[in-house]
Amino acid sequence: MTSKQTLSDWRASALQLEQQINRVVVGQQVAVRNLLIAVFARGHVLLEGQVGVGKTTLLRAVAQGLGGQYQRIEGTIDLMPADLIYYTYLNNEGRPCVDPGPLLKQGEQLSVFFFNEINRARPQVHSLLLRVMAERSIGAFNREYRMPHIQVFADRNRVEKEETFELPAAARDRFFMEITIDTPGDDAVLDDLMFNPRYHDVDALIGEMAASQIPYYQLNDWAAGIQHSIQPTPALRKYALDLWKATADPLAFGIKLSDVEMDHLLQAGASPRGISYLIRAAKVRAWLENRDSLLPEDLQAVYAVTMSHRIFLNPIYSYRKDELIPTLIDSILNQIAAP
Ligand SMILES: Nc1ncnc2c1ncn2[C@@H]1O[C@H](COP(=O)(O)OP(=O)(O)OP(=O)(O)O)[C@@H](O)[C@H]1O
């Protein structure tokens, strides 16, 4: 078991990193907190948001704080799996050469891999990425390349859905969280973003942050230490179980949504992997809140970001997905009594 002092030292560094990121990327405190939870739970994240809302800046800030290397790739319809692994070119003497692609270029130092507009890439590319996410290694050039510290952030463009390859349910379940990044709502923040030239030069903005406040190569150990140190009470275990069961059978918990035939609403609820991700995220939140026991508020705080993309509606209701899923999540949290 990791000592209380170690956990407390780690927390101080984590909160300092959070503060620094919030100074660089403004008005995104909720997203930053969730992102940080994913970092310390070693989970991959699907970002959903509009364009130009600071996603790249945010991920570069995370990479800067962790001190590892950052790579970014754009999802396009003609991107092939091999493009992630290597690229070929003719050198000055006209000889063909092969260089490592974005997944291999940084070797074991790769800590943040940003896949922009994942829904524009083909399913073959998705499968490669999902394999890397699960195994943190890849076979190429007759050998195995390890990326033990990689954390994948994939972004789905919410505005343009035409000519895109939506991620299937099985693929979305591999993501630890789905985080929405919207334009900030506070007028003072918007004013700052409009008129302050500080936000025009992303390199200078990121340069304001101290590098490697948290050693990326220790994160796997930190994450394991946190998970083993935070304990649930028996009452909380029962509460978590109910929160899980309600994702598959809300009616059994007396949950009814208006204009919905509850018997026909759902195709599937959260998987065992999904629910274990909820608990992992909740434990990291408890640690960030300076506790060694898990409370209902920890589960509630991360329920929507870990569960929303794991509840699958029947096709007759899927066109109302954006309205029904958040309502269902809220109803579950309101209806199931916390211990
Ligand atoms: N909340 C924010 N805080 C700080 N800078 C921001 C914020 N939102 C946008 N910006 C600024 O807007 C510009 C675009 O940001 P960025 O490239 O990170 O957006 P993006 O969401 O990744 O865009 P795209 O979807 O087109 O890739 C940058 O100069 C960035 O500094």
Kindly list the structural domains of the chain, giving each domain's residue range(s) and its CATH number in brackets, ordered by start: 25-213 (3.40.50.300), 230-335 (1.10.8.80)
What is the DSSP code string of 94-106? S-EEEEE-TTTTT
Q: Region 181-199: what's the mean pLDDT?
A: 93
Q: Residue 157 pLDDT > 80, yes or no?
A: no
pLDDT reported for residue 190: 95
pLDDT reported for residue 153: 92
Residue 6 confidence class, pLDDT cut points 50, 70, 90: confident
User: Rounded distance, CA 326 to CA 310, Å?
Assistant: 12
pLDDT digits (tens, 9 = 90+) for 236-253: 999 999 999 999 999 999
Q: How many CB atoms are closer than 10 A to CB 317? A: 19
State in Å: Cα 45 to ligand 1 middle.
Answer: 18
Q: Residue 1 pLDDT > 80, yes or no?
A: no
Q: Residue 276 pLDDT > 90, yes or no?
A: yes
Q: Report ipTM for this prediction.
A: 0.97
Q: Region 60-82: what's the mean pLDDT?
A: 88
pLDDT digits (tens, 9 = 90+) for 76-116: 889 999 999 988 889 999 998 888 888 888 888 899 999 98
From the CA of 28, give the closest atom in ligand 1: 1
What is the DSSP code string of 250-318? GGGGT---TT--GGGTEEE---HHHHHHHHHHHHHHHHHTT-SB--HHHHHHHHHHHHGGG-EE-HHHH
Q: Residue 127 pLDDT > 80, yes or no?
A: yes
CB 270 within 8 A of CB 303: no
The DSSP symbol for 201 reads: -
Q: Residue 299 pLDDT > 90, yes or no?
A: yes
User: Rounded distance, CA 292 to CA 7, Å?
Assistant: 9
pLDDT reported for residue 162: 59
CB 178 within 8 A of CB 305: yes
Name residues contacting ligand 1 (CB within 6 A): 25-28, 51-57, 116, 184, 193, 199-200, 202, 205
Which of 47, 97, 7 shows the shortest CA–CA distance to 309? Answer: 47
pLDDT reported for residue 60: 87
Probe target for ligand 1 pocket from 56, 118, 156, 159, with the most ligand atoms within 8 Å of CB: 56
pLDDT digits (tens, 9 = 90+) for 208-238: 887 767 888 999 999 999 999 998 988 999 9
CB 63 within 8 A of CB 112: yes
pLDDT reported for residue 320: 86
State in Å: Cα 160 to ligand 1 middle.
Answer: 18
Higher-confidence residue: 86 or 168? 86
From the CA of 60, give the closest atom in ligand 1: 18
Which of 277, 315, 325, 279 shows the shortest CA–CA distance to 133? Answer: 277
Which of 54, 280, 279, 45 shows the shortest CA–CA distance to 151? Answer: 45
pLDDT reported for residue 20: 93
pLDDT reported for residue 159: 65
